[in-house]
Structure 1
C-alpha cells in the first residue's frame, strides 16, 4: 500500500505576522504542525523558508522535500515539550565527545587525529571556557565537572529552534565541540563535517569505500548542513 499524502489545496503560501513571531498561511488557512499546534516561528526568514517549501509542492505534499518545515515541527511538537531533557542530553556529549577518544594505533592515525582534532579542543577551551581532555582507547574517562557544567549552561541558553538545530549538529557528528563550533562559525561547516568523519575517511583510505556506507554518509552530511542553515534562520532578525 502506498503512503497517503495530502493533495495540494491552496493557491499560494505566504507569511504573516502573528503573536510571538510569524506564521505561514496557505491562502487564508494557517499551517499547523502534525500535533495540530500553531506553526509560529521566531523570524520572518524562517517563515519565508517554510512558505517556499509549501509553495514548491505540486500535486501532493512530500514531507521529504520540506526540511525546514520538518525542523520547525520538531521544535514545536517535540523539543518544546521536553526542552530541559534534550538540552541535558546534548550537553552530555561533552563527557563522551568524539574528539576526545583517540586511536592507540597506528601512529599515522594517532598523529592525524591529534593534528586535526586538538585545535578544536583548544578552541573549546579558549572560546567556550571548557577544556576537554583527549584519551587513548575506547574506555570511558570522565571529563572535568566544571567543563561539563560550562557546556550545560551554554546549551541551556539556546531557544527551542536553535536547540533543535544544535541537537542535529551534535547528534550527527557525535561531538558537542563540533556542534558549537558550527553555530559559532569557528570553522566552515564542510570542514567540521569532514572532521567528524576522520576515522571513516582513514578506513576508506585503507580498505576502499562501501557504496551503502557512502550513501548513508551523504544523507547525514546533507542533514548536518541543513541543521546549520536552520540555526541561521532562527537567528535572522
Structure 2
C-alpha cells in the first residue's frame, strides 16, 4: 500500500515556507489574524507569509488561522519547521491538495481495501479477543454511519472488500474541503485505517482514542515484553500528531 503523497512536506519558513538547508532566524515581532475576502489570513508584522508556492495563508475559519498563528508566534530565535504542524498542513492544502483532490481521495479509499480494523491476529487468544472487542464496534459504525460495509478476517492473507465500500469512502473524501481532505489524507496512513481516520475527522473519536485503537498489537506486545526506548519515542511522536489532527479537524 503506497502512502498518500506529499501531505507533510519538510519545509523551512522565511516570509512563508521554502526549502532550505540553513537555520533561519525569526524575522517578525508580532503575529495576528485578519478577516479578508471571506477567509482568515495570518499576518507577521502586518504582512502575509507565503506558502512554498507563493500563496497567501488564507484559512477557512478563524480557529484554524489562530492555530497557525500560534505556531508562528511560538518560534524563538531560530525557526523550527518541525514544530509548525498546522502551518505545514495548511500549506499542503493550499498548494498541493487543492490540485490533486482526486488522487488523494483515491489513496484514502484504497486503505479501505486493507483496513487495519479488518485484520485480526490469529493468536494469541488474548490479543484476538482485544481486537474483536475494540474493532467490531467501529466496523459497525462504518456500515451504519458511513454506508461502508467491511468484512473482517484473521491473519494477513488479503480479503477483498466490497467495491461499493471503496467508492463510498472516495465520495466522502471528495465531499470535504481542501483543508479537511488534507487532514484526512494524513490521518488515514498514520492510523492505517480509513475508518479510524474518518471517525477522527468527524469528531467521533479523539486523537488519543483513534491512535490507541490503531496500535492494539503494539500495545499488547509492550505489555508482554516491555517498551523499547527508541520505539517509545516514535510512538509518542505519532500520538502527538494524532492529537494535533484532532485539533485541526475541530478548528475547521
2:232 corresponds in structure 1 to 214
Does the aligned pair in 1 maintain the 2:180–2:201 contact within 8 Å?
no
Q: Is the 8 A contact 1:20 1:40 kept in 2?
A: no
How far is 1:20 from its partner? 4.2
Q: CA RMSD in A?
A: 1.6
Q: Deviations for 1:159-212, whole angstroms, at most 9, x for unmatched residues?
A: 110011111211111001111111223233322211111010111122221111
Note if 1:66 corresponds to 2:89: no
Unaligned runs of 5+ in 2: 1-19
Deviates more, 1:172-181 or 1:15-24: 15-24
In structure 2, what is the equivalent of residue 171 of structure 1? 189
Tell me what 1:26 maps to: 44
* Counterpart secondary structure, 2:149: coil
- Would the alpha carbon gap of residues 65 and 189 (structure 1) be closer, same or farther in structure 2, given more than 3 Å must change? closer
Matches within 5 A, 1:1-237: 3-234=21-252
| Higher mean displacement: 123-132 or 106-115 | 106-115
Q: TM-score, normalised by structure 2?
A: 0.87
1:50-71: CA deviation from partner (whole Å, max 9, x where unpaired)? 2222222222222122221111
Higher helix share: 1
* 55-64 vs 193-202, greater mean Cα deviation: 55-64
Instruction: Provide, for residues 75-111 of structure 1, a one-character-per-residue CA deviation record: whole Å limited to 9, x for no partner.
Output: 1122222111011101111110000011112222221
Would you say the 8 A contact 2:207–2:245 is kept in 1?
no
Q: Structure 1 stretches of 5 or more lacking a match?
A: none
Aligned partners of 2:76, 2:123: CA distance in 1, in Å? Answer: 53
2:109–2:166 contact (8 Å) kept in structure 1 = yes
Query: Bigger shift: 5-14 or 120-129?
Result: 5-14
